[in-house]
Amino acid sequence: DARVTQTPRHKVTEMGQEVTMRCQPILGHNTVFWYRQTMMQGLELLAYFRNRAPLDDSGMPKDRFSAEMPDATLATLKIQPSEPRDSAVYFCASVPSTGATSETQYFGPGTRLLVL
Amino acid sequence: EDQVTQSPEALRLQEGESSSLNCSYTVSGLRGLFWYRQDPGKGPEFLFTLYSAGEEKEKERLKATLTKKESFLHITAPKPEDSATYLCAVSPSNDYKLSFGAGTTVTVRA
């Protein structure tokens, strides 16, 4: 049963520290999304990649957030420096590489981040 | 800007009591409307994609329908295991982006 995996599942850190979240998309999926979920804002798109190239990162605070895809099996989201308002659940999702824009996004279990 | 509004925010049902969730949307050319289910502490789980007005899809006790301005998720004779937050999302034409609604939290009591 192919699944998107995310690590760590939980992270508690102090304000100002760097946080790195990792995502392994489903094998063969070439489009990867990063979302943030909070009670107040719901699910928000931060950035997404296709074939490892960034397509859109307009939802991401650029001064402290960065997203990369070093290879086809790993996507990373970094926050430096972290702030309490970054506390949220961060989800990764991936889409198959058929090229059809109708494909469904499959979500990982999320990384629950708490910044103190 | 794409917008998705879900109602009600919360729904408490007795087991067997059928009901409907609403998702109204505005989008620049609809590529697809998606329904997801999310359980506490987990990621959204895909349920349905609807592409055009008049389309309907079913899965067990769930049935999703689509018009030009809204979608309904009908839950027929729900069971406690149907308790979850149901999320609606839309994607504009020629783009992969999803804009999500705030969700409807359904609680089914035995």
Distance from CA of A43 to the nearest CA of B (A): 6
Number of residues written out for chain B: 110
CA distance linking residue B88 with residue B100, whole number of Å: 6
Residues in CB range of A60: below 8 A, 6 or more apart:
A34, A46, A47, A67
Contact across the interface for A42 and B98, Cβ inside 8 Å: no
pLDDT digits (tens, 9 = 90+) for B59-83: 999 999 999 999 999 999 999 999 9
H-run or E-run covering B109: strand B104-109
CA distance linking residue B107 with residue A66, whole number of Å: 38
Q: Pick B100's closest partner by Cβ from A42, A101, A110.
A: A42
Distance from CA of B5 to the nearest CA of A (A): 12
Averages of pLDDT over runs of 10 residues in chain A (116 residues) are 92 98 93 94 92 87 92 94 97 79 83 98
What value does the mean pLDDT of chain A take?
A: 91
Amino acid at B108: V
